[in-house]
Structure 1
Amino acid sequence: MPAEGLEKVLQYMTSVPAWYLATSVDGQPHVRPFSFAQIQDGKLWFVTATTKDVWQELLQNQLFEATSWWPGHGWLILRGKAGLIDEASPEMREAGWQHLEGLGEHYDGPNDETLVFFSADEPQAWICDHEEWVPVEL
């Protein structure tokens, strides 16, 4: 996975207040805002909680799509399969917990059992600037 492409995807996701992640269960799409993304061990990682619908949906169907609009740059589409084995480093757990706490969510610290990190496995990404879609080599 070329680090340059992964860094570009991360930049599109973290340069805006929120980006959107979609799941689909039983043919019904579900879209919600996300705002935490981080790279660890050559993979893009996200945080959620086991109590949230998004986690329950990913357990049923690991395929997801995310999109981010970065004004002045274009938009990103990221497709992947959620890697459900939480391998978050202590530093990423701390960053994810702090991020969620900053959004007004409350957990019992970075090691709260309800916090879960999932990776973007088998990622594909495209960036569009209104004129053309450009694949991002991941």
Structure 2
Amino acid sequence: MTGNETILQYLTNVPAWYLATSVNDQPHVRPFSFAAEQDGKIWFVTATTKDVWEELQQNQKFEASSWWPGHGWLILRGKAGLEDKANADMRYAGYAHLCSLGESYDGPDDPTLVFFSVEEPEAWICNHEEWKPIEL
């Protein structure tokens, strides 16, 4: 199993995971629930109308964490790649996912939807005894 596959397991086998940004020395944490792989990178979706997008434009560094019961938790650090290169399949999957959460968009090509990649990733699987690095 590749490092990206391991990360995706931890992010997609739980109802929500948490993404943290930091702007002006103030952390901001919110739930996320969409993650996918394209071109060997992990990608997330948000909307240009959300604070998280503005925060990532000010400071691209983020950290994500997911607890998968019975498996430990994931810590994923990286920089947001802000150039949206999502293909049609990912755009549809992200759009459908956000709509299933009650959000409303004008289809997968709605310019409000934006996908960002995980650049310079570092990741660990953790339990109460150790942090085990994921080879990426």
The bucket for the TM-score relative to the shorter chain is: over 0.9
Deviations 1:37-90 (A, max 9, x none): 000000000000000000000000000000000000000000000000000000
Give the RMSD, CA atoms, in angstroms: 0.7
Q: Deviations over 1:4-38 (max 9, x none)?
A: 01100010000000000000000000000000000
Mapped partners of 1:81, 1:132: distance in 2: 24
Q: More displaced, 123-132 or 69-78?
A: 123-132
For 1:136 and 1:130, the matched residues in 2 are separated by 17
1:38 is matched by which residue type in structure 2? A
Q: Which has the larger displacement, 123-132 or 91-100?
A: 123-132
- Give the total of aligned pairs: 136
Q: Distance in 1 between matches of 2:124 and 2:70?
A: 16
Paired residues for 1:48-87 under 5 Å: 48-87=46-85
Q: Report 1:1-138 matches (<5 A).
A: 4-138=2-136
Could you list the structure 1 runs, at least 4 aligned residues long, displaced by more than 2 angstroms after superposition: none
Q: CA deviation at 1:131?
A: 1.6
Deviations along 1:79-115, one digit per CA (max 9) or x if unpaired, are 0000000000000000000000000000000000000
The 3-state SS of whatever aligns with 2:132 is strand
Distance 1:81 1:137 in 2: 17
The structural deviation recorded for 1:130 is 1.9
Structure 1 unaligned regions, length at least 5: none
Could you state the TM-score of these two structures normalised by the residue count of structure 2? 0.99
Q: Partners in 2 of 1:75 and 1:125 — Cα distance?
A: 10
The TM-score with structure 1 as length reference comes to: 0.97
